[in-house]
Structure formats: C-alpha cells, structure tokens
Amino acid sequence: MANKYGKNGEAVAAFLDEVSATDLSAWRAFLELESSSDGFGAAIDAVAAAPWSASARTAISSACAKIIRGLGLGNIVPRMGVSIIASRVKVAAMGLAEGDALPPERLRVILAPFISLGFRSVADPATAPSEQGAARRLSSGAPG
C-alpha cells in the first residue's frame, strides 16, 4: 500500500511526529534561528516545481495545518511567528516527500533550522555536521 505522503512518506511521517512532539520553548527558539536567505527562496521554488502527486501534496498540507493548530503556538508567539513556523514545517515536509526530486543543497537549506534544534528525523548522520553549521550560519546572518 502506498503511503499517503508519497514515496518518502515514512520520512515525512517521522518528521511530522517530531513536529507534534516539539515543545513551545523550542518553537520560540526556532523563530530566533529562522532566517530568510536567498537559498530558501530557491528551495521553495524547487519544492513547488518538483513532480509529485496532488493527493500527497494535499495530505501533507492538511496534516501540517492540523499539527500547527494543535501546537497552541498562538498563545506564545505573535501571529507572524505562527505563519513562519507553519510555512517552514510545510515546506520541510514537502521537501522530504520529494526526496531525490529535490537537489540536496535545497533540502539542506530547508531542513537547517530543524536540524539545529535537534530534530533527529531529518538529521542524516553522514551530513548532519555540515547542515548544523549551515543552520548556525543562517541564524547568525553569516554567509553560507
């Protein structure tokens, strides 16, 4: 049976489980790490352009919205912060779903803030140190 999140659905499900289990203080820290970069815009474009099923895209969008609502973020972060977290979670889940269809450097940019918070579901042991360094550079404003 195919996974509702697509061919890499297990990775998406593990990530979304970790998002659900993340406490509010970690989401506040995430907002401090979150930084728009030139690379993030290109990564979003790559996610949007990748070929994958509408049903998987819909399932991921719905699951992300449900999870974000359930986190109770509105009580601790400004509305814009909730939007940033929701957007980053959705893009990361979609990037994971696409797997090989997304260039690795794009996926690294998308996942960097989650890796820096210690998300195990997205940390590839072979590449985690460089991704953690990228996350630190993103959060400090240093060039990548």
What is the pLDDT at residue 105?
Answer: 87
Question: pLDDT tens string for the chain (144 positions)?
Answer: 468 998 889 999 999 999 999 999 999 889 888 666 668 888 888 888 887 788 999 999 999 999 999 998 887 778 788 999 999 999 999 999 988 788 888 898 899 999 989 999 998 743 433 333 333 333 334 433
Residue 1 included in any domain:
no
pTM reported for the whole predicted model:
0.80
Its domain, for residue 55, covers 9-140
In-domain check, residue 51: yes
Domain count along the chain:
1
**pLDDT at site 36:** 61
User: In this predicted structure, what is the pLDDT of residue 46?
Assistant: 85
3: left (phi over 0), alpha (psi -120 to 50) or beta: beta
In a domain, 108, yes or no: yes
In a domain, 103, yes or no: yes
- In this predicted structure, what is the pLDDT of residue 37? 66
In angstroms, the CA 18 to CA 64 distance is 12
